[in-house]
Amino acid sequence: MLAYKRIIPCLDIKDGRVVKGVNFVDLKDAGDPVEIAAAYIAAGADELMFLDIAATSEDRTAKLDVVRNLATVTSFPFSVGGGLRSVDDVEAVLDAGATKVVIGSAAVLNPELVSAVTGKFGSERIIVAIDASLRSDESGHNVYINGGRNDSGIDAVTWAKEAEQLGVGEILLTSIGRDGTKAGYDLELTASVTNKVSIPVIASGGAGTREHFHEVLTQGRAAAALAASLFHFKEVTIGEVKEYLAAKGVPLKIR
């Protein structure tokens, strides 16, 4: 069966607005999440991802009003993450209308949570987010938690393998060093994970050109490529990316 590659716009949410920065800081307002989501759906996105980036540091869960607002205007598949720490948190977001949930820091701190939510809601609805940064000795990448602020000391590949064993359906892999830089995805990091797990890996961090998407989906073997500022500020459109990928023979789902 042909595995279609996906293009996923990411909407980082703070105070109810879409924001974007560089290396997880210097955030700029990019617009209303529902309006931006509608535009991306019309532009040909395969899925959408909403991350409430302040939820963990503010000790709260993702704001459900934003989730409900989106669910009322579209049946399009979308994932939501931010501050999810319990089975009840996950259930609330799914009940609000999300197709999938994204769990990051809480999964690292409490791996049993992953087993619990995949067991209750199904692997296909659970994504584990891995924010990774290159170690100072360049021997590999460590997992960072709390919005990229704290080094967990855990190797990214090791944690990806464990997350798969715990039953997670997908991995969202973000290179902190590439986030917002538009210098290209971290192909070494992405391949190091995709070569060790059999579940889909969504690559994030660094998209700047159409070529970058092709590189990470082929050389990096990612199942999907996620991007934010590149699309938010209309430097490249989803349609242009998909047209380029199709011309290169990358399998894409037509809708």
**Active-site residue, selected from the candidate residues 12, 155, 179, 186:** 12
Active-site entry in 131, 155, 179, 186: 131
Domains and CATH numbers, the chain: 6-247 (3.20.20.70)
The pLDDT value given to residue 120: 98
Q: Is 153 helix (H, G, I), strand (E, B) or coil?
A: strand
Share of the chain above pLDDT 70, in %: 91
Helices 33-43/238-247 angle, 10° precision = 30
Do residues 158 and 193 touch, judged by C-beta distance below 8 A? no
**84-143 tens-digit pLDDT:** 999 999 999 999 999 999 999 999 999 999 999 999 999 999 999 999 999 999 999 999
Is 238 or 73 the better-scoring residue by pLDDT?
A: 238
At residue 165, the pLDDT reads 97
Q: What is the pLDDT of residues 14-60, one digit of tens each?
A: 777 777 655 545 556 667 888 888 889 999 999 999 988 766 666 66
Q: Under a CB-based contact definition with an 8 Å cutoff, are residues 132 and 143 in contact?
A: yes
Strand partners, 171: 128, 201
Q: Predicted confidence band at 70 (pLDDT cuts at 50, 70, 90)?
A: confident
- Identify the burial level of 152 via C-beta atoms within 10 angstroms of its C-beta, where 0-12 means exposed, 13-18 middle and 19 or more buried: middle
As given in the structure block, the two tokens for residue 103 are 């769990």
* 179 among known catalytic residues: no
Measured CA distances, 94 to 18, 118, 177, 228 (Å): 21, 13, 31, 23
Residue 190 predicted with pLDDT over 90:
yes
CA atoms lying within 13 Å on the CB side of residue 112: 0
Q: What is the mean pLDDT of the chain?
A: 90
What pLDDT does 79 receive? 96
Residue among 88, 152, 156 at smallest CA distance from 116: 88
Both tokens of 110, joined, read: 């409490």
Q: How far apart are CA 95 and CA 99, in angstroms?
A: 9
Question: Does the pLDDT value for residue 3 go beyond 90?
Answer: no
**pLDDT at residue 23, rounded to an integer:** 54
Is-catalytic flag, 131? yes
Q: Is pLDDT above 90 for 61?
A: no
